[in-house]
Structure formats: structure tokens, C-alpha cells
Amino acid sequence: MRVVLDTNVVVSATLVRGGNEDRILRAWQRGAFELVLSPQILEEMGRVLAHERFQELRWMAEDEIISLLQSLAQESVLVTGRVTVEVSRDPEDDKFLWAAIEGDARYVVTGDRDLLDLETYRGVQIVTPTAFLKLLRPAQRRK
């Protein structure tokens, strides 16, 4: 199953060890799902994770953040980001829907209300981290 993670999910994973977002990131690292990213999403993740405000709050060390970003870039399904849609109340959020459509993802996982209020878009379900973890559990039992 292919999934797009919003930047807020990845950032939260670095802030709360063992939280839902961290568990989702670890599930991806174990191969529970394929992560779909675009250059626009990767750039945003790198910029936000490097922001001074988050450096003091995260549990990951700087070298772990660099390793995480490299892993995201190398081990994800990277789409071009050329498919464009304008559907979210916040145009900055549309890039997650672009990637999901272009990468044939089933889910966008986010904590962003502007995306969550859409619920679905072109067959892509937009869910919270908590809801996604519940969806992952049955899939993991079948393996």
C-alpha cells in the first residue's frame, strides 16, 4: 500500500519518541507500507526539520535527522510533483494530494485540518495518524 505522509507527521515523529507519528515512521522503515514523496515535499521536510525552533525540541540528534532525510529521499517512491490540483483551503497543502495522485497512494496521513476536512480526494483517503495506525494493524496481521 502506498501512502503520503504530511510534513507535520514526520516532524512530530522527531518530537515525540514513541508517539503515533514515530510509530508510523518506524512502520515505514520496517516495510509496512510504501512512502510516496515529491521533491516539493522533501524540500519542505528538510526546511522544517532544520528550523531552529524544532532543533531544541526534537529527541533525534542532528546526524539522525540527516540520516532520516537521506532515507526518505532514497527509500521512498519519488514522484515528479508535476501533477497539480487546487483543492485544499491552504494551497500549500495541495502538494500532498499531487503526490498521492501521481504516486497512486491510498492514503494521505496528516494532522492538518485543511486536508482532513476533505476526507477523500479522487479515491485517496485523508486520515489522521491515529486512524492510519488502526488501518495498519489489520494489514500487519495478514503478513
- Phi, psi for 26 (deg, rounded to 5): -65, -35
Q: What is the tens place of the pLDDT at every residue in 88-105?
A: 877 788 999 999 999 999
Judge contact between 103 and 95, C-beta under 8 A.
Answer: no
Domains contained in the chain, CATH given: 2-142 (3.40.50.1010)
> Does the predicted TM-score (pTM) go above 0.75?
yes
142 or 43, which is more confident? 43
Band of residue 139 on the pLDDT scale cut at 50, 70, 90: low
Tell me the residue type at 70: Q
How many other C-beta atoms can be found within 10 angstroms of the C-beta atom of residue 116? 15
